[in-house]
Structure 1
Amino acid sequence: MTVEKRPCVYIMANRRNGTIYVGVTSNLPQRAYQHREGLIEGFTKQYGCKLLVWFERHDTMESAILREKQIKAGNRKAKLALIEADNPQWSDLFEDIAQG
Protein backbone atom coordinates (compact mmCIF):
# COMPACT_ATOMS: atom_id res chain seq x y z
CA MET A 1 0.00 0.00 0.00
CA THR A 2 1.44 3.39 -0.93
CA VAL A 3 1.61 6.33 1.44
CA GLU A 4 -0.97 8.11 -0.73
CA LYS A 5 -3.85 5.79 0.17
CA ARG A 6 -2.80 5.06 3.71
CA PRO A 7 -3.83 6.75 6.95
CA CYS A 8 -1.02 8.87 8.38
CA VAL A 9 -0.37 11.07 11.36
CA TYR A 10 1.88 13.98 10.45
CA ILE A 11 3.56 17.07 11.82
CA MET A 12 3.92 20.33 9.90
CA ALA A 13 6.25 23.12 11.06
CA ASN A 14 7.02 26.68 10.02
CA ARG A 15 10.76 26.30 10.80
CA ARG A 16 13.12 24.25 12.93
CA ASN A 17 11.96 24.38 16.56
CA GLY A 18 9.16 26.71 15.48
CA THR A 19 5.40 26.38 15.47
CA ILE A 20 4.17 22.83 14.88
CA TYR A 21 0.86 21.29 13.90
CA VAL A 22 -0.19 17.66 14.35
CA GLY A 23 -2.77 16.24 11.94
CA VAL A 24 -4.19 13.05 10.48
CA THR A 25 -5.14 12.25 6.89
CA SER A 26 -5.82 9.40 4.50
CA ASN A 27 -3.89 11.11 1.66
CA LEU A 28 -0.65 12.60 2.96
CA PRO A 29 0.77 13.96 -0.33
CA GLN A 30 -2.45 15.83 -1.06
CA ARG A 31 -2.82 17.15 2.49
CA ALA A 32 0.82 18.26 2.78
CA TYR A 33 0.47 20.06 -0.57
CA GLN A 34 -2.65 21.86 0.70
CA HIS A 35 -0.75 23.04 3.78
CA ARG A 36 2.29 24.10 1.72
CA GLU A 37 0.18 26.18 -0.63
CA GLY A 38 -1.95 27.74 2.10
CA LEU A 39 -5.14 26.18 0.71
CA ILE A 40 -6.49 25.24 4.15
CA GLU A 41 -7.83 28.05 6.31
CA GLY A 42 -6.85 27.88 9.94
CA PHE A 43 -3.85 27.27 12.13
CA THR A 44 -1.30 26.07 9.58
CA LYS A 45 -2.06 28.93 7.19
CA GLN A 46 -2.01 31.52 9.97
CA TYR A 47 1.34 30.35 11.33
CA GLY A 48 2.96 29.37 8.01
CA CYS A 49 3.39 25.68 8.85
CA LYS A 50 4.47 24.52 5.39
CA LEU A 51 7.20 21.98 6.16
CA LEU A 52 6.30 18.31 6.53
CA VAL A 53 8.80 17.31 9.21
CA TRP A 54 7.42 14.00 10.51
CA PHE A 55 4.84 11.37 9.60
CA GLU A 56 3.82 7.90 10.65
CA ARG A 57 1.83 5.44 8.53
CA HIS A 58 -1.03 3.40 9.99
CA ASP A 59 -3.04 0.44 8.75
CA THR A 60 -6.39 1.93 9.78
CA MET A 61 -7.76 5.43 10.19
CA GLU A 62 -8.87 4.46 13.69
CA SER A 63 -5.31 3.73 14.81
CA ALA A 64 -4.08 6.93 13.13
CA ILE A 65 -6.68 9.02 14.97
CA LEU A 66 -5.79 7.39 18.29
CA ARG A 67 -2.11 8.13 17.69
CA GLU A 68 -2.88 11.73 16.70
CA LYS A 69 -4.81 12.21 19.96
CA GLN A 70 -1.94 10.65 21.91
CA ILE A 71 0.61 12.98 20.31
CA LYS A 72 -1.60 16.06 20.76
CA ALA A 73 -2.09 15.17 24.44
CA GLY A 74 1.68 15.11 24.95
CA ASN A 75 3.80 18.13 25.68
CA ARG A 76 5.87 20.09 23.19
CA LYS A 77 9.09 18.38 24.28
CA ALA A 78 7.64 14.97 23.34
CA LYS A 79 6.56 16.26 19.91
CA LEU A 80 9.98 17.75 19.25
CA ALA A 81 11.60 14.45 20.29
CA LEU A 82 9.48 12.59 17.69
CA ILE A 83 10.69 14.94 14.95
CA GLU A 84 14.32 14.94 16.11
CA ALA A 85 14.47 11.12 16.29
CA ASP A 86 13.57 10.65 12.60
CA ASN A 87 14.46 14.03 11.10
CA PRO A 88 17.13 15.85 13.16
CA GLN A 89 17.69 18.43 10.40
CA TRP A 90 13.96 19.22 10.19
CA SER A 91 14.13 18.62 6.43
CA ASP A 92 10.93 19.05 4.44
CA LEU A 93 9.81 15.48 3.69
CA PHE A 94 7.25 16.53 1.08
CA GLU A 95 9.43 15.64 -1.90
CA ASP A 96 10.02 12.16 -0.47
CA ILE A 97 6.30 11.39 -0.23
CA ALA A 98 5.26 13.25 -3.38
CA GLN A 99 7.41 10.87 -5.42
CA GLY A 100 5.84 7.84 -3.79
Structure 2
Amino acid sequence: MHKKHPHYFVYIFGEQPGSDVQIGIADNLQQHVAQKRQHENVLQNMGNMHKLVYYEHYDVEEVALNRERQIKSGDQNSTYNLIASMNPNWLDLSDTL
Protein backbone atom coordinates (compact mmCIF):
# COMPACT_ATOMS: atom_id res chain seq x y z
CA MET A 1 0.00 0.00 0.00
CA HIS A 2 1.41 3.39 -1.00
CA LYS A 3 1.34 6.20 1.46
CA LYS A 4 -0.14 9.38 0.03
CA HIS A 5 2.35 12.24 -0.29
CA PRO A 6 1.26 14.97 2.14
CA HIS A 7 0.37 18.44 0.96
CA TYR A 8 0.07 21.54 3.10
CA PHE A 9 -0.93 24.96 1.84
CA VAL A 10 -0.46 28.35 3.43
CA TYR A 11 -3.21 30.53 2.02
CA ILE A 12 -4.52 34.08 2.05
CA PHE A 13 -8.12 35.00 1.35
CA GLY A 14 -8.92 38.62 0.58
CA GLU A 15 -10.71 40.96 -1.78
CA GLN A 16 -8.43 43.87 -2.67
CA PRO A 17 -5.47 45.87 -1.31
CA GLY A 18 -6.54 47.67 1.84
CA SER A 19 -9.13 45.05 2.74
CA ASP A 20 -8.93 42.54 5.56
CA VAL A 21 -7.24 39.25 4.77
CA GLN A 22 -7.45 35.80 6.29
CA ILE A 23 -4.23 33.79 6.58
CA GLY A 24 -4.28 30.10 7.35
CA ILE A 25 -3.11 26.60 6.57
CA ALA A 26 -4.95 23.66 5.00
CA ASP A 27 -4.00 20.16 4.00
CA ASN A 28 -6.60 20.14 1.20
CA LEU A 29 -6.87 23.67 -0.14
CA GLN A 30 -9.38 22.85 -2.84
CA GLN A 31 -11.75 21.34 -0.28
CA HIS A 32 -11.11 24.23 2.13
CA VAL A 33 -12.05 26.79 -0.56
CA ALA A 34 -15.27 24.89 -1.35
CA GLN A 35 -16.23 24.65 2.33
CA LYS A 36 -15.47 28.34 2.89
CA ARG A 37 -17.65 29.34 -0.06
CA GLN A 38 -20.49 27.11 1.12
CA HIS A 39 -20.24 28.59 4.61
CA GLU A 40 -20.20 32.16 3.26
CA ASN A 41 -23.25 31.49 1.10
CA VAL A 42 -25.12 30.47 4.25
CA LEU A 43 -23.94 33.36 6.41
CA GLN A 44 -23.54 36.03 3.70
CA ASN A 45 -21.42 38.09 6.07
CA MET A 46 -17.86 37.40 4.94
CA GLY A 47 -18.03 38.54 1.33
CA ASN A 48 -14.92 40.67 1.67
CA MET A 49 -12.67 37.60 1.97
CA HIS A 50 -14.09 35.20 -0.59
CA LYS A 51 -11.19 35.14 -3.03
CA LEU A 52 -8.14 32.92 -2.70
CA VAL A 53 -5.50 35.54 -3.56
CA TYR A 54 -2.30 33.76 -2.49
CA TYR A 55 -1.04 30.30 -1.59
CA GLU A 56 2.18 28.37 -1.08
CA HIS A 57 2.60 24.59 -1.15
CA TYR A 58 4.68 22.57 1.32
CA ASP A 59 5.35 18.86 1.84
CA VAL A 60 6.10 19.18 5.56
CA GLU A 61 3.44 20.39 7.98
CA GLU A 62 5.88 22.04 10.40
CA VAL A 63 7.46 24.07 7.59
CA ALA A 64 3.99 25.24 6.49
CA LEU A 65 3.06 26.15 10.08
CA ASN A 66 6.26 28.15 10.48
CA ARG A 67 5.57 29.99 7.23
CA GLU A 68 2.00 30.76 8.31
CA ARG A 69 3.33 32.21 11.59
CA GLN A 70 5.92 34.25 9.69
CA ILE A 71 3.29 35.79 7.41
CA LYS A 72 0.92 36.48 10.32
CA SER A 73 3.70 38.17 12.29
CA GLY A 74 4.36 40.66 9.50
CA ASP A 75 2.56 43.94 9.04
CA GLN A 76 -0.32 44.50 6.66
CA ASN A 77 1.90 46.08 3.97
CA SER A 78 4.22 43.07 3.89
CA THR A 79 1.18 40.81 3.42
CA TYR A 80 -0.11 42.98 0.57
CA ASN A 81 3.35 42.96 -1.03
CA LEU A 82 3.50 39.17 -0.73
CA ILE A 83 0.14 38.86 -2.47
CA ALA A 84 1.21 41.34 -5.18
CA SER A 85 4.38 39.31 -5.85
CA MET A 86 2.27 36.34 -6.98
CA ASN A 87 -1.03 37.95 -7.86
CA PRO A 88 -0.74 41.71 -8.54
CA ASN A 89 -4.37 41.98 -9.67
CA TRP A 90 -5.76 40.09 -6.66
CA LEU A 91 -7.51 37.56 -8.90
CA ASP A 92 -9.24 34.53 -7.45
CA LEU A 93 -6.67 31.72 -7.72
CA SER A 94 -8.97 28.89 -6.69
CA ASP A 95 -9.29 27.74 -10.31
CA THR A 96 -5.52 27.15 -10.44
CA LEU A 97 -5.58 24.43 -7.78
TM superposition score normalised by structure 1: 0.80
How far, CA to CA, are the matches of 1:46 and 1:67 in structure 2?
28
Instruction: Work out whether residues 37 and 50 of structure 1, in 8 Å CA contact, stay in contact via their aligned partners in 2.
Output: no
Aligned length: 87
Partner-residue secondary structure (3-state), 2:78: helix
User: Paired residue for 1:66?
Assistant: 66
Aligned match of 1:25? 26
Q: Which runs of 4+ in 1 moved over 3 A?
A: none
1:33: Cα distance to partner?
1.4
Q: Give the Å deviation of 1:38.
A: 2.0
Aligned equivalents of 2:93, 2:35: Cα separation in 1: 14
> What is the CA–CA distance in structure 1 between the aligned matches of 2:12 and 2:85, rounded to whole Å?
13
Identity percentage of aligned residues: 33
1:51 maps to what in 2?
51
The answer to whether the 8 A contact 1:19-1:47 is kept is no
Runs of 5+ unmatched residues, structure 1: 40-44
Please give the secondary structure, in 2, of the residue aligned with 1:57.
strand
Name the amino acid aligned to 1:71.
I
* Rounded Cα–Cα distance in structure 1 between residues aligned with 2:72 and 2:46: 17
CA RMSD of aligned residues (A): 1.5
